Structure 1
Amino acid sequence: MQINGEAQPGTALLLVAAPTGRGRVLDASSVALALAAVPPSAWTGTAAATLIELTDPTEPQAVLTRIQAAAATTGPLTVVLVGQLQRDRRQQGIHFALARTTPTTIRYTALPWTWLVHALQQRRPDTTTAFVDLVADAGAWEQLLDEPLTLGNSTRAFGIIAPPPGRRRTAQPRYTNALAQTLRTGHRPRAEQLHQETLRCIDVEGALVLGVEHAAATNPVLSYGNPAPIPAQASLAPAAAMLPARSQRAVSPVYVPSNAVIPVEADPHARIAALSKAGCHREAAQLAAAAEQRAVHAFGADTFAAVHWTEVRAYLASVAQDPAASCQLWLQAAETRLGVLQQAPDVHDVETAADGAHHQWERIRDAAHARHLAPRLVALRYRVPGRQHGALAAIQKKLERLPA
């Protein structure tokens, strides 16, 4: 893994941490021994290297001191980060959680991401490489989709940031575990190649992938949103445009929101869109349901990856002229985003799901079915009134018009 042509000794900084209490969503310690077993020179790609290892540290200032010491070295520096990202609800800042971090003490017990960026920005270009294996809490994840997280212009960043794993679930650091397995074999490719080899060993559906620009031509990254993640590209089949995609944001070249890093022909969205456009609604729905089950198996039922496919199914049901099924799926998506994923009522995806449920409910002709779904819709509209006034009043008016 020759990172540059210098013969200077390198430095490897391993920072592995996660809260010890109920706030833990990543089993970071499970990979600590595997990372430490990698020779320091394998991390840096140099003949000699120094290892700085921080496992479950508790003091942000002490961690910063070690980071600054590593950043002050002149040779190649490789930083490996395994842990959780949490958002300070008061100041909206992203922090790297440490062992004593809790949701109410983030500002005092976690490492502000800006500290890390500032320390690494002092280094010369092309001398710093970072491999990250992170899980974001619900607040941080919501912010990351709109505000890309970077390590500054001086650092080449590779790795993944995964969404919250769901209630009572703990994610595993799959990226760095695969990374360590490769390096322990004595195989030392360049950082870009090592990153791509690692991605091929794991399932990264639903995660944000850093460093993907190096393989964009052969292994494109697909952005996911609501309800379908296909960006409008001329190279895709025209049918793909049927599934509405969220507007694409300008992002850092090493930070692209994605729900998969897979060959285009293996991605189901274009096939689903083509089937739906051809009127093969049952086949399209079956394919979407299969994709949803794959996401549930990989990440859990109450996760961003799974709720995305619920929304795709809701859209397909509307195209198939099944408003009752579509309404129920949109309700499910909105309730999951609010109750489990803890997204705010004014978040775009939550409002879209609520609006979708309301619109499809208005189309239901069967009075009994409409009355059956009305209580859930009313409860949802109390929490998510939407941008147009009078949503609750409109529901009441339709209920009054329904035959007894």
Structure 2
Amino acid sequence: MQINGAVQQRGHVLLVAGDTAGRRRTIQIEPSANLAALSLIPVPVLLGSDLPTDTTYLDGVRDQNALLVKLRRAAATRGPLLVYLSGRLTVDRRSHQLYLALSGTTPSTARYTALPWEWLGIELRQRPAGLTTVLLDLAADKGAWPLLQDYGSLPAPSSIEVYGTVAPPGFPGPDSSHVSAYTRAWIEQLRSNPQRPTSSRLHAMAVSAAALPPGTLVVPAAPELTAVPGLEQEQNARPLSTVQRVASGDTAFISELRERSAQQPATREAPPRAPAPDRPAVRPDDHQYPAHASSVPLPRAEPVRPAHPAPKQAAVQTPIPVQHPGPDAHSNPVPQQQDPRPYVYALAREGRFTDATLLAQAWETHTLQTLGIDSPHATQWIEIRADLAKQAGNYVLATQLWISAGRTRLAHQSPDAHEVLTTAQSAHYCWTQITDTSKARECGPELVALLRALPSLDRRHLSVAQQRMEHLHNTPTRR
């Protein structure tokens, strides 16, 4: 936020904790813990301004009108404003409008006990551009999530900056610290940077460092997070997950990213040859790769500087692409990149599934930044991660990743394409291996929807999936 000290006199920080987001005894977001963690950050650091600042801390508020009064008071400040919202997004059954649930809000009372999302825009839209930042750490319930997928984002006036994440319903929440991954990552970045970065850069670093659930809606979308100057110097940042960016299964979301990606510069610089590992890895047998991942060669297009470094946890030296300055970068022949997949699967064969997954995530990020959202190679890395999850016995994650890869392929390929059909078959197989009734029930509808979209697939897949879904719905969940 740009500060004009000759005009603005005071700043304002408004911290709001809505209702706890949870499902079946699983807490996804605990807003009170998030606000408590943020309150430990000095206000000038949090706001990014040395102006005198008023702070409003609202935890456990139940009255939408009382919250509206506080919001109006904050919006009336002449200086910079930061609004932080944490909690559960829900939807009104009658109007089908989004609401931030407050303490005590139920689906039937959202209209009278929750904060309408449009009120936020109405109160803030008259503020001068560049002075207002809205920070979100939310989880959507099962009623709000389809609406968010239709939107592809959260509606907000163009005069305000909105950053944050919205987790899909049903995923596990924070660890023992009770602070959400995104908020904790934001705080850690504030503490680790002596000079406060811009909010957009903080957001990019927080998203890259946070372990977000698959399918999380990131606001703003991916292109605004890539190629942040100097971001590669952040040694603790973890690579962005493709699932966080492109694998939510929303075709409209993919189209929007494609249009934004087209506005990015098309020039790419060639990296030098990455060093081979000290210990040569034996290429795995073909059956160790996903069914069609090995049939397409890795991209030879050359990358821009990676936005995030490879994770430190991956102990083996790997051909992660990096850029070294040199005046003759374009005059020398471009060397052939080494295929990183043997190293990924070599780690998996040793039982080092975490390291293998981190390496695959790093290549996901590199491929997205190098070749863009439409590249089939980016989808291949989702499939490789799905295969790693299957080998590790994590059939829930494997199913989710295979479904995401199938949806992404279906958005760009024919429904009868071999890769699309093989991906759907892999998703179905992994789903049949899930023994947890509730988890299988949650993944089932998305799988059935994918199978229905493939008329040339053996119809027995759809029939078996529908029969199992019927059985799961008739099976009581263990408590």
Fold match by TM threshold 0.5: yes
- One-letter code aligned to 2:182: Y
The answer for unaligned runs of 5 or more in structure 1 is 244-259, 276-283, 365-369, 382-404
The amino acid across from 1:43 in the alignment is L
Residue of structure 2 equivalent to 1:308: 404
SS state at 2:118 partner:
helix
Q: What corresponds to 1:194 in structure 2?
A: 202
* Aligned match of 2:216: 207
How far off its partner does 1:108 sit? 1.6
Q: Show CA shifts across 1:337-382 (max 9, x none).
A: 9952797xxx9x86443343x64334x6xxxxx8xx846546879x
Letter in 2 for 1:40: V
Offset at 1:156?
A: 0.6
Q: Which residue of 2 aligns with 1:402?
A: none
Structure-1 separation of matches of 2:150 and 2:250? 17
Question: Superposition pairs for residues 86-235 of structure 1, below 5 Å?
Answer: 86-147=90-151, 148-166=153-171, 169-170=172-173, 173-184=180-191, 187-204=195-212, 205-211=214-220, 212-217=222-227, 222-226=245-249
Give the Cα–Cα distance (whole angstroms) in 2 for the partners of residues 320 and 58 of structure 1: 48
Mapped contact 1:3–1:190 kept (Cα < 8 A): no
Q: How does 1:240-279 map to 2 (within 5 A)?
A: 263-265=365-367, 270-271=376-377
Q: In structure 1, what is the equivalent of residue 18 of structure 2?
A: 17
2:30 corresponds in structure 1 to: 27
Report if the CA contact (8 A) 1:87-1:139 is conserved: yes
- 1:389 maps to none
DSSP-derived class of the 1:73 partner: coil
Give the drift of 1:78.
0.8
Deviations 1:171-201 (A, max 9, x none): 5521112222333455412222222222232
Q: AA paired with 2:216? A: A
- Where relative contact order (Cα < 8 A, 6+ residues apart) is larger, the structure is 1
C-alpha deviation, 1:22, in angstroms: 6.2
Partner of 1:398: none
C-alpha RMSD over aligned residues: 4.8
One-letter identity of the residue aligned with 1:208: L
Asked if 1:290 corresponds to 2:424, the answer is no
Change (3 A) 1:327 1:72: closer
TM-aligned CA distance change 1:31 to 1:288, over 3 Å: same
Match for 1:38 among 27, 37, 41?
A: 41
**Residues 324 and 161 of structure 1: is their aligned pair in 2 closer, same or farther, counting only changes over 3 Å?**
closer
In structure 2, give the amino acid aligned to 1:223.
V
User: Bigger shift: 194-203 or 130-139?
Assistant: 194-203
Q: Helix, strand or coil for the counterpart of 1:138?
A: coil
Paired residue secondary structure (1:203): coil
| Percentage identity across paired residues of the two chains | 27
2:62 aligned residue (58, 62, 65): 58
Change (3 A) 1:330 1:158: same
The total of aligned residue pairs comes to 336
- Report if aligned partners of 1:14, 1:80 keep a CA contact under 8 Å in 2: yes
Structure 1 stretch displaced more, 83-92 or 200-209:
200-209
CA apart distance, 1:65: 0.7
C-alpha separation in 1, matches of 2:188 and 2:464: 52
Distance 1:316 1:57, change over 3 A: farther
TM-score w.r.t. structure 1 length?
0.66
Q: How far, CA to CA, are the matches of 2:124 and 2:392 in structure 1? A: 38
Q: Distance in 2 between matches of 1:295 and 1:71?
A: 50
What TM-score does the superposition give when structure 2 sets the normalisation length? 0.57
Q: Does the residue aligned with 1:195 lie in a helix, a strand or coil? A: helix
User: Which residue identity lines up with residue 290 of structure 1 in the other structure?
Assistant: L
Q: Secondary structure at the match of 2:67?
A: helix
Q: Provide the rounded CA distance (Å) in 2 between the counterparts of 1:69 and 1:323.
A: 52
Q: Cα offset for 1:149?
A: 1.4
Unaligned runs of 5+ in 2: 229-239, 269-291, 297-360, 471-479
Residue 215 of structure 1 aligns to which amino acid in structure 2? L
Query: Offset at 1:76?
Result: 0.7
SS state at 2:209 partner: coil
